[in-house]
Amino acid sequence: MSAAGIAVQGLVRFVYSVLVGRLLPTGYLASVNSAISTAMLATLMWPTSIGAAAAKFLAREAGDVGVRAGLTRHLARLSLLTSVALGVAAGGVTLLWLQPGEVLTGLLVGLLTVGWSGYTFVRGVQYATGRVLRATVWDGLSFVAAVAGLVLVLVFDLRAWLLLPLAAGYLLYTAAGWPRTGRGPVPPALRGEINRFVAWGVLGSLATGGFLQLTMVLAEQTGDAASADAYAAALTLATPASMLGSVLSLLLLPALSGAVGRGDLDLARRTTDLAHRGLIATVGGVFGVLVVGSDLLVALIWPDLSAAVPVLQILLVATFVLAGTVVTEAIQSATEHGARVIAVIRVSGFAVGLGTAFALLPALSVTGIAVGYLAGMGVIGTASTVVVWRRDRHAWAPLMLRVAAGAALAGGLVWALSTRTTGWLDAAAVAVFAVGWFALHRKDLLAVAKRS
């Protein structure tokens, strides 16, 4: 069910970009995606971490009804206050700097920020309390509302209101799922632990998800409308995959935190190992297929944006490096200081990636921005994996060798296709990669299928 929710939310931005990119003039695709990225970037400055805190602490404190009720009330209040404050800030930044003088755009960015912030909190509460089915149903209903609204906006040529349907969809989800709260004690020590978790989580979220959204803003600010549209197209296809990491946290963080809270560290270790192997085997295959088939995919969706292909391939690899592991949740759930460790690793990767992007931007334009993002995610993914690998003594060496072999296969196929026009050979290459990846990860893939 959570996979269905991921797919639906990924489709929202995908459908938005396809319709805007195909039906409106050059520049609109980059402009709309830049505005969406601004709202998502603002949300990462606090509300996203409050949603993660709900997923962790409501699950960990499940045994005490009074504390859980008070904790829900405390987190709901924080979510509401920060959402409104950041909505005003995001709207102001849009109005004054990103799209000067566009009052309506600024208002809609602010509204979208509030809606996305509320969505992340409500989803965290629902996953922590086992309401995954409910969350997925409302994902679908909010998707219908957003897409139907966009169609109406396009039919009546109300281009200034393009962001309204998306904001309305997230606000609908928030209103429908806002949790009931009750009065209950929230011990000062627990309140302090939550504040530290959220503060470190903000740094970590900005350094990963924030970095991805920032790259779109940077691409739009280059002034090259065609290149910015190409980057927006690539980001549109990579974003659904990037959402996997945040949704995975909502699944694994409550489970691992509950095991740690009961003192069952062996269960937490086994859960991490099984989830890590299963995720790499399944997600790696999907990402590899998308990388090898990028030419064909872009040609089908945006025939005039072939420049998006190399950017898309780079962004997909970077996203897999980050989203293809579960080690972040293993670190955050283990101790009170786990969020700080993750924040330090992610900020280091962000610094490396942003420095690389600015260094390559003059020579490579938007491709340099994508390479910078890949460099940053490489630092974060590698460091996080090594920490858990060494700490828990996992037998991951053979797994990593199989991943390296799969990456080499994908790279070879992409190189072989680089001198040919898009056609049936692309489909054949995708099939070759899929067969090769299955052969490498057959045991783990069959285990996932059996457990499912």
- pLDDT tens sequence across 356-403: 999 999 899 899 999 999 999 999 999 999 999 999 999 999 999 999
Q: Which of 115-124, 137-146, 300-309 has the lowest mean pLDDT?
A: 300-309
pLDDT of amino acid 118: 97
What's the whole-number mean pLDDT along residues 253-270? 77
What Å distances lie between residue 207 and 145, 272, 440, 445, CA to CA?
Answer: 31, 23, 32, 31
pLDDT of amino acid 208: 84
pLDDT digits 0-9 by tens, 42-85: 998 899 899 989 988 998 887 788 888 999 999 999 999 999 99
User: Tokens for 437?
Assistant: 């990846």
| Burial class of 218 by CB neighbour count within 10 A (0 to 12, 13 to 18, 19+) | buried
At position 187, the amino acid (one-letter code) is P
DSSP type of residue 161:
G
What's the whole-number mean pLDDT along residues 108-121? 96
Residue whose structure tokens are 């080499």: 408
pLDDT of amino acid 333: 74
At position 258, the amino acid (one-letter code) is G
What's the whole-number mean pLDDT along residues 295-314? 89
What's the whole-number mean pLDDT along residues 140-161? 95
Using only C-alpha atoms, the chain has a radius of gyration, in whole angstroms, of: 21
**What value does the mean pLDDT of the chain take?**
88
The three-state secondary structure class of 251 is: helix
The domain locations on the chain are 1-186, 192-452
Contacts of 254 (CB under 8 A, 6+ apart): 55, 56, 58, 59, 60, 127, 128
User: Tokens for 343?
Assistant: 């924040």
pLDDT grade, residue 240 (50/70/90)?
low
Alpha helices in 156-187 (DSSP H): 164-177
User: Tokens for 104?
Assistant: 């309506």
Residue whose structure tokens are 């069952």: 264
Vertex 16: Cα angle to 55 and 377 (nearest 5): 50
Does residue 320 register a pLDDT over 80? yes
